[in-house]
Amino acid sequence: MRNKTLLLCIMAVFAMYFVFMAGEALAFTTPVVGDTLYDAYDLVFNDLLDGPVGYLGAGFLFLTGLATLVQGRGFITPTLCLVGSGVLPNVDGVVETFGFML
């Protein structure tokens, strides 16, 4: 019992440290024309993931999720596949919303 209490106290101290000592977070924003690596962002997110490659990947993930769900191979893998199939075509919005931490 004493070890669990000590572990809980240590975890609380670390959590408070990370909350109160967090520095400024820089979020990723969509680059505009002329920014560094705009061409790479445009190619990966707009041309590939929002284009036919992204929709084919989403369809593949959807069918894989359905197949594993029907076969009864657990619950986590089909859930991740089905959620991923919904997120993949909208990945540029997800990137902008969550903002990758630099």
Each domain of the chain, given as residue ranges in start order, spans 27-98
Prediction pTM value: 0.61
Mean pLDDT across 12-28: 71
Calculate mean pLDDT across residues 14-41.
Answer: 74
Residue 41: other Cβ atoms inside 10 A: 18
- pLDDT over 90 at 89, yes or no: no
What sign for the dihedral angle of Cα 89, 92, 98, 102?
positive
Mean of pLDDT values over 34-61 = 87
Q: What pLDDT is attached to residue 100? A: 55
> pLDDT (tens digit, 9 = 90+) per residue, 1-15?
677 888 888 888 888
Residue 100 · residue 61 · CB < 8 Å: no
